[in-house]
Amino acid sequence: MSSIKKAIFPIAGLGTRFLPATKSIPKEMLIVLDRPVIEWAVIEASKAGIEEMIFVISSNKNSVIEHFDRSEILENALKKKKKIDQIGLVQSQNQLGSFSFVIQDEPKGLGHAVWCARKFIGTNENFAVILPDDIILSKIPAIKQLMRVHLKTNGGSVLGLESVPKKEVSKYGVIKIKKRYENYFSISNLVEKPMYSQAPSNLTVVGRYLLNSKVFNYLSLQKKGYGNEIQLTDSLVQLTDKPGLYGIEFNGKRFDCGSKFGFIEANINFGLNDGDIKSNLKGMLRKL
């Protein structure tokens, strides 16, 4: 069993939940604290030992590519002004890993987006999928917590999970529990965005996945599911055979940065975690 070195970031979406902010700015480029949402997701992957970052993009996302490239003009200008600390700040993105890009030319769903990156993944290889809308504040990177379950289960596929109030299950993929272990579950089935009354549990899938390349067999069939889209959730049932499909309620706080509330919540929590602004921010919040 080899360690997981590649992550797919599906970021071709239009960001229609966050208009007008995302009319010309990709939603992944909205700023939480002092860096774009996508950088937080890539930092998480990099800290977990992932080396190859594969972005599934659409053609209007050039600013994402630029953000992970070096900017010699900026570096030279900062050098001239002797702003040495800031040079490191703008070079760090490029050092988080190697970057590849593949275009998803039609918005056919998350399963289709992941399938677009299939050429980057080998036969019987395990890889990560990270949805950067969900950013996670945690001591141990969330994807690393999934990797630990992958090792414990001798190479099982693993999903990040969160339990939500039952009335909210219809916004997510929902798992059916096969067995409960100390801090993780084995999964026998999943449903994408079920109605409250038909949900198999209140354990929902967060945007963190460790998957085996077997999922591409199903995704290649291009079968449409919920919302007439090719759903990643539907392909995951392929992974329930040995070594199996598992899920973990990771330690950490997740914020849905694709929504107004989640985005503000993320900014406040990342701010409270930042040494420079923490005490001012606390003071400001107390006065509200």
Write down the least CB distance from residue 243 to ligand G1P, Å.
22
> At residue 43, what is the residue type?
I
Write down the least CB distance from residue 173 to ligand G1P, Å.
3
With 0-12 / 13-18 / 19 or more C-beta atoms within 10 angstroms meaning exposed / middle / buried, residue 81 is: exposed
Nearer to ligand G1P, 247 or 271 (CB): 247
Write down the least CB distance from residue 61 to ligand G1P, Å.
16
Nearer to ligand G1P, 97 or 173 (CB): 173
Is the CB of residue 232 less than 8 Å from the CB of residue 111?
yes
Nearer to ligand G1P, 29 or 131 (CB): 131
Write down the least CB distance from residue 233 to ligand G1P, Å.
5
Write down the least CB distance from residue 165 to ligand G1P, Å.
15
Write down the least CB distance from residue 92 to ligand G1P, Å.
27
Residues forming contacts to ligand G1P in the complex (CB under 6 A) are: 110, 131, 134, 172-173, 192, 204-207, 231-233
Nearest position to ligand G1P, beta carbon: 173
If phi over 0 gives left and psi between -120 and 50 gives alpha, with beta otherwise, what is residue 171?
Answer: alpha
Nearer to ligand G1P, 28 or 192 (CB): 192
Nearest Cα to Cα of residue 224 among 103, 106, 57, 60:
106
Nearest Cα to Cα of residue 227 among 189, 192, 190, 176:
192
Nearer to ligand G1P, 53 or 110 (CB): 110
If phi over 0 gives left and psi between -120 and 50 gives alpha, with beta otherwise, what is residue 80?
Answer: alpha
Which helix (H) or strand (E) covers residue 130, if one does? strand 126-130
Nearer to ligand G1P, 12 or 149 (CB): 12
Would strands 245-248 and 173-180 be described as parallel, antiparallel, or unpaired?
unpaired
